[in-house]
Amino acid sequence: MVNSRRVFAAFVLALTIIDAAFGFNFNYGDALDKSLLFFEAQRSGKLPGNQRVKWRGDSGLTDGYQQKVNLVGGYYDAGDHVKFGLPMAYSVTMLSWGAIEYGKSMMDLNQMGHVGDGDSDHYCWERAEDMTTPRTAYKLDTEHPGSDLAGETAAAMAAASLAFRPYNSSYSDLLLVHAKQLFWFADRFRGLFTDSILCAKEFYTSSGYSDELLWAATWLYRATKDESYLKYVVDNAATMGGTGWAVKEFSWDNKYAGVQILLSKVLMDGNGGAYTATLKQYQAKADYFASSAAFLLAVYSDYLSAAKSVLTCPDGNADYILGKNPKSMSYIVGYGQNYPIHVHHRGASIASISTLHSVVGCVQGFDAWYHRPEANPNIVHGGLVGGPDKNDNFDDDHPHPKTAAKPYEKPGMPVEFFHSITDSWTVGRIAYYRHKVTIKNKSEKPITDLKLAIENLSGSLWGLSPTQNKNIYELPEWIKVIKPGSECSFVYVQGGPQAKVSVQSYH
Ligand SMILES: *[C@@H]1O[C@H](CO)[C@@H](O)[C@H](O)[C@H]1NC(C)=O
Ligand SMILES: *[C@@H]1O[C@H](CO)[C@@H](O)[C@H](O)[C@H]1NC(C)=O
Ligand SMILES: *[C@@H]1O[C@H](CO)[C@@H](O)[C@H](O)[C@H]1NC(C)=O
């Protein structure tokens, strides 16, 4: 497992944010080049000599120091300073898949990176170079398995090994070695990574790992042609839900449809052999998914044309994003003449470390930079803003309301709560808020069975476990005790007023 340790080094999470999604245009050189520049803006660690994004500096140089492993390097999640979550591994898989299927020109640029749509702690608004937030590192090991994250990373590496094969065979081989190790680990030690990673993992909750195991095995089969991987997806077809579920979703959390479509290709290429019967079952699900997706697209397209709006499907998508839209604006930052200038990105919104040498602290970042009406001082080339909505409006806006955290809880209680709104956005007429509640241990006395009552919760909640009783939650099993003076937090997202949190009982 020594080698795999280095791979796990990539699973470093700290905490941060961006309200943007990132997209890639496989057709147009400049837009693609801008997109790839985005990855450069996200680099962590010591920057290489050929770094083109000059407003960034070295950062996160002691990552892993406390844990006695070298975790320096990698990419930040998005506008924040988290490294490598589940959505990012998925993005790499998808980027590789795009490259394998369509993107020779993309690989000619000889670059590859990670993207994500991270979200987490809004408490600090600062440059990566000034980071003072704790660089907590989380590691998966045999006692703390994470089949979803390890499986997705195995899939990413197997797919990337295929994408890189024509360009650098030794790199491709190395990726494959790690992909196999990771898959072995993911399969042998089963568990959800969110059960292994503490309180901080709120936003990368995956709903299961069976799909990632099938997905990883499928990519490994494609990359190695080793039949044992095909046998794996066939043997586990029913138990892991590969042929049982007709899913309606393909996302970083759910890859069944991708598995089904990749396996259909094996069948269509005439490579089914002894596994043909089961592969046909996979294909039946792929047909179902594709036809319902096609149906939904057709219906949606009708609705949109009735409303004189635009359907942005893959072909037309690029032109729309690049400026063929009623606002004549590019939704890719830095592309064209007219593009978003207030992108929600910490590094971009604060003056560069090379022009403003003094440290911009956590709170100062909010006060002096986050709320500034002027354009971002740095251009995060290649970032694609969230939206646009049906009126072609997009999220070019970082000053979200942020309420100060105020403690509340009755005197005499062993814990205190701090509530803050860390983000907000609007869908239709409804304003949604991301609420973060920090639980702080005020007592020295041993407390067990702390139960919290949460009333008026209408949205989703991360970071607490439900109990059998309605509205009653407990600390997740892996936390059990909050050390005196320390804290842990949970998050919920909902429209309308906030939920009411109180201590229900404890012993
Ligand atoms: C190929 O990848 C290896 C890492 O495995 C790297 O050291 C080498 O520089 C790469 N070669 C080229 C031509 O990019
Ligand atoms: C607070 O800390 C004390 C001392 O470690 C511990 O006994 C107690 O259970 C903690 N309370 C909570 C709610 O975790
Ligand atoms: C909050 O929940 C309580 C019961 O748990 C209910 O009586 C009350 O109407 C709710 N308030 C709102 C604003 O939904």
Please report the pLDDT score of residue 23 as a whole number: 32
Centre of ligand 1 from the C-alpha of residue 452, in Å: 53
Strand ranges, E, within 130-267: none
Structural tokens at position 77: 């999640």
Q: Which atom of ligand 3 is nearest to the CA of 496?
A: 13
d(CA 326, CA 335): 17
Centre of ligand 1 from the C-alpha of residue 110, in Å: 11
Q: Tell me the pLDDT tens digit for each residue of 391-413.
A: 666 655 544 434 444 456 666 78
Q: What is the residue with the minimal CA distance to atom 9 of ligand 3?
A: 456
CB of 189 shorter than 6 A to ligand 1: no
d(CA 199, CA 30): 41
Q: Which atom of ligand 2 is nearest to the CA of 480?
A: 14
For the domain covering 65-288, report its CATH number: 1.50.10.10
Please report the pLDDT score of residue 67 as a whole number: 62
Q: Which ligand is nearest to the CA of 457?
A: 3
Secondary element (H or E) of residue 435: strand 430-441
**Rg of the chain (C-alpha set):** 23
| Domain ranges for the chain | 65-288, 405-505
Put simply, whether the predicted model's pTM sits higher than 0.75 gets the answer no
Confirm if 38 and 21 have CB atoms less than 8 A apart: no
CB of 168 shorter than 6 A to ligand 1: yes
**Beta-carbon contacts of residue 494 (< 8 Å; ≥ 6 apart):** 432, 433, 435, 457, 458, 459, 460
Please report the pLDDT score of residue 25 as a whole number: 33
Please report the pLDDT score of residue 293 as a whole number: 76
Centre of ligand 1 from the C-alpha of residue 149, in Å: 26
Structural tokens at position 76: 């930040």
CATH fold match for the domains 65-288 and 405-505: no
Count CB neighbours of 475 within 10 A. Answer: 20
Centre of ligand 1 from the C-alpha of residue 507, in Å: 59
Please report the pLDDT score of residue 199 as a whole number: 43
Q: What is the residue with the minimal CA distance to atom 14 of ligand 1?
A: 168
398 is catalytic: no
Centre of ligand 2 from the C-alpha of residue 415, in Å: 9
CB of 502 shorter than 6 A to ligand 3: no
d(CA 263, CA 436): 42
Domain 405-505 has CATH 2.60.40.290: yes
With a cut of 50, list the residues of the chain below it in pLDDT.
1-28, 104-123, 199-203, 311-315, 398-406
Please report the pLDDT score of residue 81 as a whole number: 62
Q: What is the residue with the minimal CA distance to atom 2 of ligand 3?
A: 456
Q: Which of 114, 344, 345, 398 is catalytic?
A: 344
First to last CA, the chain: 42
CB of 485 shorter than 6 A to ligand 3: no
Please report the pLDDT score of residue 107 as a whole number: 39
403-412 CB contacts, 8 Å cutoff, 24+ apart: 405/438, 407/440, 409/502, 409/503
d(CA 359, CA 379): 20
Is residue 147 classed as helix, strand or coil in its secondary structure? Answer: helix
d(CA 28, CA 335): 11
Please, where are the H alpha helices in 71-168?
Answer: 86-101, 104-108, 147-164
Kindly give the pairing relationship between strand 500-505 and strand 465-466: unpaired
